[in-house]
Amino acid sequence: MNLDDIKDNLKSQLGQIWSRVEDSAFYNQMRDRFENLTPTHQKLTLMGAGALLALLVISIPYSYYSESATHVGTYEEKRALIRELLKVTRESSEVPDLPIAPSADSLKGTIEGQLHMAKLLPEQMKGIEVMAADTGLIPKGLLESGLRVSLAKLNLRQIIDIGYNIQSISPSVKMSSMNVTANSEDPRYFDLEMKLVTLAVPQPQIEAPEPEEHDNKAKKPFKRGEH
């Protein structure tokens, strides 16, 4: 079938459809109403019908455009999410492993040594107390031990230096709270209370080497004539 035949068939089918429309009661009723309108109303009716037809024609490609824009937006959101996930994965792989946290006694001794190096007076060192590890933020199962460091009559420089040195002891030692209050005897100085916790870093599992298999069988002596 060539193009001319297709055109003829299409014209024939459209003609049959238009004939059915003209024979319908609804069409005849609407035509009678249209003919009874004034010329001005007829023009307005034709303009409204044309606008409605144009709107219907435009709505078809617009619906496809709107749907494609929605798909593009969904694709860009998923792409951004995947990029963020890859970034987080890469950053997490670059984070160094935490060392094993020092024990409570070892950490206490280290802090005492730092306080002695800071040349604090005996009256300024109120004591270091081992306590249960609890921060309210980190689950207790991830904490090992806790310490409370109490100092008195410090100036601001001493508070900054001591806090920085203690915080730098180990990445596995975290300062959970720091409370600074004015000294009751001399308001020019401050009392300091710090609470520290150590993280329960799991120790790497070192597999024991498998024992080498030894052949305990006695070697049979070689004798002449044996093959």
> Tens digit of pLDDT for each residue in 148-193?
999 999 999 999 999 999 888 888 888 888 999 999 999 899 999 9
> Which residue is it, tokens 């049979």?
220
| Domain covering 104-199 in this structure, CATH number | 3.30.70.60
**Mean predicted confidence (pLDDT) in 47-65:** 82
- Rounded CA separation 100/170 (Å): 9
**Mean predicted confidence (pLDDT) in 61-80:** 87
Residue 141: in which H helix or E strand, if any? none
Which amino acid appears at position 78 of this protein? K
| 33, two tokens | 């109403």
Please tell me which residue, 133 or 127, carries the higher pLDDT value: 127
Mind listing the pLDDT tens digit for each residue in 77-94? 999 999 988 888 877 666
- Name residue 143's beta-bridge partners: 199
Give residue 61's Cα distance to chain centre.
Answer: 38
**Mean pLDDT lowest among 41-50, 124-133, 145-154, 155-164:** 41-50
What percent of the chain has pLDDT above 90? 19
Return the pLDDT at 34: 77
The DSSP call for residue 95 is S
Return the pLDDT at 224: 53
Report the largest interatomic distance among the alpha carbons of the chain, rounded to a whole angstrom. 136
- How many helices (H) and strands (E) in the chain? 5, 4
